[in-house]
Amino acid sequence: MRSAIQRDWLIAAFLVAIGVVGVSVRQLSACAWNGEFPGMVCTAGSSLSLFLGVTGAAALLGHLWARRSGADEQCFTFIGAVGGAALVFAMMLTGF
């Protein structure tokens, strides 16, 4: 069985990979928000993967920070997730 640190790094790598896929797919010219159904699904899916990747990674960082400092892990995980969601919202507003 893997240690907690190895498991955390695997989870972080998986979440970052989801976010990278979302950003990569979003940059495709075929994946543009338009009136056509495939384009809308592609954009919605890439936005969701970007949201899950950034929010999940931020929540995991909050969890790790709480574990190291001895603080409440659930609280810091929630704060990390909310911060990640705010970051994704800001990225969407700027057109990233």
pTM of the model: 0.67
C-alpha distances in Å from residue 24, one per residue of 11, 20, 31, 63: 20, 6, 10, 27
Domain that holds residue 67: 4-94
**pLDDT per residue as tens digits for the range 33-71:** 666 667 677 777 777 787 888 888 888 888 888 888 888
Count of domains for the chain? 1
Residue 30's pLDDT is 66
